[in-house]
Amino acid sequence: MTDLLVSDTTTDTETGTTATGTAAEALAAPGTTAPAVPFRSIHSHLTQRALRLQPTSTAVRAAYNEAPFTPIPAVTEAIASAAAGLNLYPEGIGTLEAKLAAHHGVEDLGEGCVVVSPGSGFMLHNLAIATCDPGDEVMFGWRSFDAYFNAAATAGAKAVAVPVLDSGALQLEAMAEAITDRTRLIVLCTPNNPSGAPLMHADVLDFLAKVPSNVLVVLDDAYGEYATAEGVVDGFALAAQFPNVAVLKTFSKFFGLAGLRLGYLIARPEITTGIRRISLLSGVSTLAVQAGLACLEPASVAEYEERRRVTLAERTRIESTLVDQGFTIYPSQANFILIDLGEKSDDFAAFSAANGVIIRSYGEDGARYSIMLPEVNDLFLEITEKWQVEQA
């Protein structure tokens, strides 16, 4: 979509530092310090984001890839019960981490292989701080999740954005070629946001064979529960096979707890130990911990699986209808769909909002619709049909 983008977010790149050993060893080493944050670049990004995301009072919000379902009863009951103890610091974080390891079947990675954080975005910042000195490089595909730029800026690192393929999938060969002796962190968003394109396991295996052992590779698996295609990457298997691979997860999508801010990293203990050394003490709230524990109960997981089936069925229906209406779409393995509208993306997003549904425009890279409940999806498909009629 675009040429290789390298964003220098620090004024001092002459650190003279050289990476040695593995990524896990670097993370486990104490004494990691965070450089000064370049305020100007972050302020500019946040200002532009605020201007782009002004709310509309009467329209349905389908722009942030949020789960359309309200929390299940077990979660709201756990939150209500926990509220009586908000005068105390959180407890149960270790229990939640252990239950997450069991939920994903990754206990063999070792005790402490899961570390939680107040949102996966917060964990991204910690990963950049833990791995990068000023002038080091954080690499990711582009277009992808905007927060990767912020994470690099937090560490005073350079953001190296490698253009994605025309399909919206990450271009792993180009990313491998872009690795330098200053590359410290590579983030692979799969399924990619906003295209919904997943990575295949065999392709990631080939890629990892080209990555130096002192570079940490993080699979951002925020939408992994919605990836049903045969052969999609298994991040947990890769974390078991490669000591420099970690998997980033969130409670915001599949579990629908975006408002509580709860994310987590799965990796070998050598990596999670390093992350804990630079993390906020009790950074995850009591309400988030108790809600997370409630989510992992077998009955709760069964409810979420039924909700997932609804989302997957709606994804198939929406994609089919959009194609029948004459749109070009990016086939998605996530809970959103990117429509290829080229230079008309902004106009279409404005048209959709004016007709009752707020979506996200990516300029010439398309407009993304977050899959909602069937009745909202029906409304959106009426809007898309109306758009096509007016464009004819």
Check whether residue 386 and residue 360 sit in a common domain.
yes
Check whether residue 207 and residue 146 sit in a common domain.
yes
Domain end, chosen from 275, 297, 319, is at 297
> Does 50 reside within a domain?
no
Structure tokens at 262: 């709860």
Check whether residue 174 and residue 284 sit in a common domain.
yes
> Does 45 reside within a domain?
no
Please name which of 167, 228, 173, 229 lies closest in space to residue 194, comparing C-alpha atoms. 167
What is the count of structural domains for the chain?
2
Check whether residue 99 and residue 229 sit in a common domain.
yes
pLDDT score of 4: 54
Check whether residue 315 and residue 344 sit in a common domain.
yes
Check whether residue 275 and residue 287 sit in a common domain.
yes
Instruction: Decide if pLDDT at 76 tops 90.
Output: yes
Domain end, chosen from 257, 273, 297, is at 297
- DSSP notation for 196-263: -PPPBHHHHHHHHTTS-TTSEEEEE-TTGGG--STTB--HHHHHHH-TTEEEEEESSSSS--GGG--E
> Does 276 reside within a domain?
yes
**Torsion angles phi and psi, residue 243, rounded to 5:** -70, -15
Please name which of 380, 389, 383, 392 lies closest in space to residue 336, comparing C-alpha atoms. 380
Check whether residue 169 and residue 92 sit in a common domain.
yes
Domain end, chosen from 250, 278, 297, is at 297
> Does 12 reside within a domain?
no
Structural domain boundaries enclosing 111:
20-29+72-297
The residue-averaged pLDDT of 29-58 equals 42
User: Sorting pLDDT into bands at 50, 70 and 90, what band is 267?
Assistant: very high
Dihedral (CA of 169, 172, 178, 180) sign: positive
pLDDT score of 23: 55
What pairing do the DSSP bridges indicate for beta strands 158-163 and 60-61?
Answer: unpaired
Dihedral (CA of 119, 123, 125, 126) sign: positive
Residue 387 belongs to domain with CATH number: 3.90.1150.10
Check whether residue 117 and residue 239 sit in a common domain.
yes
User: Sorting pLDDT into bands at 50, 70 and 90, what band is 280?
Assistant: confident
Check whether residue 117 and residue 178 sit in a common domain.
yes
- For 309-343, how does the pLDDT look when each residue is reduced to its tens digit (9 = 90+)? 999 999 999 999 999 999 999 999 999 999 999 99
Check whether residue 160 and residue 208 sit in a common domain.
yes
Instruction: Decide if pLDDT at 40 tops 70.
Output: no
- For 161-181, how does the pLDDT look when each residue is reduced to its tens digit (9 = 90+)? 999 999 999 999 999 999 999
Check whether residue 275 and residue 336 sit in a common domain.
no
> Does 351 reside within a domain?
yes
Residue 80 belongs to domain with CATH number: 3.40.640.10
User: Sorting pLDDT into bands at 50, 70 and 90, what band is 391?
Assistant: very high
